C-alpha cells in the first residue's frame, strides 16, 4: 500500500511488537526466531524489516513497553488502586514470564539495562509518593523494597506456574503501612 496513513503505519508496528511480545514471553528472546515473529504477526519477512532494522530493535521496543506496565504512571491513584493493579498483573503469567526475560537480557546488555533502569527509577519515584506522611523519612527505602518485591514476584510466578498474589499483597501492605 503506497502513501498509507500514519495510523496504518502505527498499527502495523504495534502488530509486530504484539506478536513478538507473545513469542518472547512464551519462548524467550533467543529461542524466538524471526520466522516465529513473521508467523505470529501474519506479515511477511520483508514487511517486518521495513519497520525494524534488526531483531534487537524489536527486543528494545518490547522492553520499552514491557516493564512500564508494572509500577508507572499511577501517581494520582490511591494505594489500594495500585495494589489491585499489581494483583491483576500478577495473575498474568505471560507478563511475568516476559519480565523474567527482560531482566535477564538487561543483566547482560548495557543498552537494555539503561532502559530498564529508567523505568525502575520512575516506578520508585511513583511509589515513594504513595507512602503515608508519617513514614515519609523512609520513603526511598520502602520504594526500593516495593519494586524489588514486585519484580521478584513476577519471577516466582513465572517459575511456579500458579498465581496466588494474596501473601504478596499482604507483604506489600506490611511494608508500606509499617
Partner DNA sequence: ATAAAAAGAGTGACCCCTCGCTTTACTTGA
Partner DNA sequence: TCAAGTAAAGCGAGGGGTCACTCTTTTTAT
End-to-end CA distance of the chain: 59
Binder among 18, 92, 129, 144 for a second copy (CB under 8 A): 144
Contact between 91 and a second copy per CB under 8 A: no
For the CB of residue 52, give the shortest distance to DNA in the complex, in Å: 8
Q: Which is nearer to DNA, 60 or 128 (CB)?
A: 60
Q: Are 102 and 110 in contact (CB under 8 A)?
A: no
Binder among 13, 15, 18, 27 for a second copy (CB under 8 A): 27
Query: Beta-carbon neighbour count of residue 146 at 10 Å?
Result: 24
Q: Which is nearer to DNA, 33 or 152 (CB)?
A: 33
Binder among 8, 75, 152, 177 for a second copy (CB under 8 A): 152
Return phi, psi of residue 76, to 5°: -90, -10
Contact segment (CB under 7 A) with DNA among 47-55, 96-104, 139-147, 151-159 equals 47-55
Quote the CA–CA distance of 54 and 104 in Å, as a whole number.
20
Contact between 27 and DNA per CB under 7 A: no
Q: Are 163 and 90 in contact (CB under 8 A)?
A: yes
Quote the CA–CA distance of 178 and 173 in Å, as a whole number.
8
Binder among 56, 84, 164, 177 for DNA (CB under 7 A): 56
Give me the DSSP letters along 73-84: S-TTS-HHHHHH
Contact between 111 and DNA per CB under 7 A: no
Per CB under 8 A, residues contacting a second copy are 26-31, 96-97, 100-101, 103-108, 113, 116-117, 120, 140-141, 144-145, 147-153, 155-156, 158-161, 167-168, 170-171, 174-175
Amino acid at each position: 500500500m503506497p502513501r498509507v496513513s500514519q495510523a496504518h503505519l502505527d498499527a502495523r508496528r504495534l502488530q509486530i511488537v504484539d506478536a513478538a511480545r507473545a513469542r518472547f514471553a512464551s519462548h524467550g528472546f533467543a529461542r524466538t526466531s524471526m520466522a516465529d515473529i513473521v508467523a505470529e504477526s501474519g506479515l511477511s519477512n520483508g514487511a517486518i524489516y521495513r519497520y525494524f532494522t534488526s531483531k534487537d530493535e524489536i527486543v528494545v521496543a518490547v522492553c520499552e513497553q514491557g516493564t512500564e506496565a508494572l509500577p508507572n504512571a499511577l501517581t494520582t491513584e490511591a494505594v489500594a488502586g495500585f495494589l489491585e493493579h499489581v494483583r491483576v498483573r500478577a495473575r498474568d503469567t505471560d507478563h511475568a514470564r516476559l519480565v523474567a526475560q527482560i531482566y535477564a537480557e538487561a543483566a547482560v546488555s548495557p543498552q537494555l539495562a539503561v532502559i530498564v533502569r529508567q523505568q525502575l527509577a520512575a516506578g520508585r519515584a511513583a511509589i515513594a509518593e504513595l507512602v503515608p506522611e508519617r513514614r515519609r523519612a523512609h520513603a526511598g527505602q520502602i520504594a526500593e523494597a516495593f519494586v524489588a518485591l514486585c519484580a521478584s514476584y513476577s519471577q516466582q510466578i513465572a517459575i511456579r506456574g500458579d498465581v496466588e498474589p494474596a501473601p504478596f499483597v499482604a507483604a506489600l501492605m506490611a511494608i508500606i503501612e509499617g
